[in-house]
A and B are shown apart, each in its own frame.
Chain A
Amino acid sequence: MPSSRLLLIVASCAFLAACRQDMHDAPRYEPLEASTFFADGRGSRTLVANTVARGMLREDEHLYQGKVDGQLTDTFPMPVTTEVMARGRERFNVFCAPCHGRTGQGNGMVVQRGFRAPPSFHDERLRTAPVGYFYDVQTNGFGAMSDYAAQVPVADRWAIAAYIRALQFSQRATVGDVPPERRAELDAPAPQEAR
């Protein structure tokens, strides 16, 4: 009797081992995990073509296309504040400076490695282009430059457009354009995030 009970315990332990669930790799998909279920092997599904998620319809022509009545606009869909400019500078340095350079001259590192050189933002043609144009180029791409719609969200694209405008002004600014009470800051070392 005791020996058969012992046998039962040993046997059930053996079966328990078969019930082990691997908690290190739970039966769910992590972001971008490969899938054996879907034909294209993607666990993270792409949006079905020509569908719009509820509440995500991009009706605002000014905000989403940089246009008013079908024409590229020279106005911003949001108030341009110091925060927006700081954000624009940061995003410009991340996404655009590799090619356009930090000052927008078109001599970024990737260009030095052989990418086609973009025109300088300080050319007459681009200085007079409406801000909507800079939003549009980022959204749809232009010639050899691919679009940044997937990498840069809409609000950031506008912030970058605002910053490019500031860059353009900065190249032709004189000391007279700086309010007298802030002129002393010109001689101070550059703030950390501008380096």
Chain B
Amino acid sequence: MPQIFKPSANTLAKASIVGGLLLAVSLIGLLIGLGRSSYVTRAQEFIEQPIQFSHAHHVGDDGIDCRYCHTSVETSSFAGIPPTKTCMNCHSQIWSTSPMLEPVRASIRDDRSLRWIRVHDLPDFVYFNHSVHVKNGVGCETCHGRVDEMPLTYQQNSLQMEWCLDCHRAPEKYVRPRSEIFTMGYRPPVPQSVQGPELVKAYGIESLTNCSTCHR
């Protein structure tokens, strides 16, 4: 009976062990990578809205403050999406015949709410609160990115638990003075490694990593 396994099969066997291991590791790596990719988290993805509302025009070009529209961001968990009336404060006169704004006018005429599509949406088993973050010196920009440069709103960060925890473990890396919360393109006047710990002390910020902080 001829030999089935040639001597070279020895090397093949060794190589296939290594290869199999490599394959398993890279598959796991791929899965982890996929889990964090924007394909899963929907970060960096433009969302089609019923109206092409542009923060780049309203905030970047016209300098309107976030709070003009997101009125409850300092006082409640929910930042608030402006009602149609807020748009009409200005668009009763500006671009008042533009077809781009027809849904806004229709909404006022028929007393129907505009249906914005959510850009950020945490799972319902996570508790999040805007007012706490605003009071403790976390700027809009830190979580939402350069909103003033977004022609359509998109999610800047993954919003995964690991992202929240990265800051909750070491808030001094990100906190800024309360007067700069709404500033876009903020640059700390002194290095963050000096300013951060000082602010954490001044504002009495704790590192909240207990599960029940966010899952309550």
Which A residues have a C-beta under 8 Å from some C-beta of B? Answer: 23-26, 28, 30-32, 34, 40-42, 93-95, 98, 109-110, 113-116, 144, 146, 150-151, 192-193
Contact = CB atoms under 8 A, between A and B. Distances in A.
A21 to B, nearest CB: 11
B39 interface: no
Contact of B85 (A25, A93, A150, A193): A150
A114 B92 CA distance: 11
Given A115-B90, A193-B179, A28 B65 contact: no
B165 to A, nearest CB: 19
A193 B178 CA distance: 10
A42 B113 contact: yes
Contacts of B179: 192-193
A22 to B, nearest CB: 9
Contacts of A40: 111-113
Contact of B94 (A26, A41, A110, A146): A110
Given A113-B94, A115-B90, A150-B83, A23 B123 contact: yes
Interface of B: 62-65, 67-68, 71, 78, 80-81, 83, 85-86, 88-90, 92-94, 111-113, 115, 123-125, 177, 179
B93 A32 contact: no
Instruction: Name which of B80, B86, B89, B92 has the most chain A CB atoms within 10 A of its CB.
Output: B89
Contacts of B81: 32
A189 to B, nearest CB: 12
A133 to B, nearest CB: 20
Given A24-B124, A42-B113, A109-B62, A151 B93 contact: no
Contact of A98 (B62, B113, B123): B62
Given A26-B124, A114-B93, 8 more contacts: A23-B125, A26-B125, A28-B124, A30-B124, A94-B67, A98-B64, A144-B92, A146-B88
A161 B54 CA distance: 31
Contacts of A95: 67-68
Contacts, number: 67
B151 to A, nearest CB: 17
Given A26-B125, A151-B68, A98 B63 contact: yes
5 contacts: A23-B123, A32-B113, A40-B112, A98-B62, A109-B62
B94 A94 contact: no
A-B pairs, top 6 by smallest CB distance, nearest first, are A26-B124, A24-B123, A94-B65, A31-B78, A109-B62, A146-B89
Contacts of A26: 124-125
Contacts of B83: 150
Contacts of B113: 32, 40-42
Given A95-B68, A110-B90, A146-B89, A41 B112 contact: yes
Contacts of A32: 78, 81, 113
A34 B118 CA distance: 11
Contacts of B67: 94-95
B124 A25 contact: yes
B164 to A, nearest CB: 16
Contacts of A192: 177, 179
Given A24-B123, A151-B86, A115 B68 contact: no
B65 A151 contact: no
Contacts of A24: 123-125
Given A23-B123, A23-B125, A110-B62, A115 B94 contact: yes
A146 B92 CA distance: 9
A178 B71 CA distance: 36
Contacts of A42: 113
A41 to B, nearest CB: 7
A140 to B, nearest CB: 14
